[in-house]
Amino acid sequence: MIPGPGEYLSLLMGAPSLTEAQLEEAGVRIVERFGPNVLGLLIESSCIPAYHGLVRDRLQPGYWNEYVGRDEILFVFKLVSGAIEEFTLSEENQGKISRLCSELNGEPPEKTSDLPAYLAAHPFYADAMIACHGTLVE
């Protein structure tokens, strides 16, 4: 799936207390299910603030969520301590984001060091990462 102008994709996990009704109320559309607590979402840019609030509130410590748009990728991390760190992916912060992904997912840094490729490894993001972020998928 490729997000249109003003749209974002998000693969939501680690927020089991976030209900479908709350997502719907925030204007978020579920477009794919990958298990009982893993949802592929389509979010209009106008709905990002409401969705962002839900993620900040409902995400469990030790998880993160990303929003993949045509021109940017946003990350919200809820650290094990409960502290929240937020980033818009850039060359300057890619290393920090990669380290957080590695730490929270228990994966080697080599796997997360190329964040666009790391995201593209999931089928939900693959087309968007190729079309919008020039990622090569092997």
Taking only the tens place, the pLDDT of each residue in 82-125 is 999 999 999 999 999 999 999 999 999 999 998 989 999 999 99
Q: Is residue 2 part of a domain?
A: no
* Domain coverage including residue 118: 7-133
Instruction: Give the torsion sign (CA, 12, 100, 54, 29).
Output: negative
Q: Is residue 1 part of a domain?
A: no
Average pLDDT over residues 124-137: 81
Q: Is residue 138 part of a domain?
A: no
Q: Is residue 101 part of a domain?
A: yes
User: Of the candidates 42, 32, 54, 39, which has an alpha carbon nearest to the alpha carbon of residue 7?
Assistant: 42
Query: Can you give the pLDDT at residue 82?
Result: 95
User: Of the candidates 122, 123, 95, which has an alpha carbon nearest to the alpha carbon of residue 109?
Assistant: 95
Q: Which amino acid, 46? A: S
- Name the domain count of the chain: 1
Rounded distance, CA 131 to CA 13, Å? 24
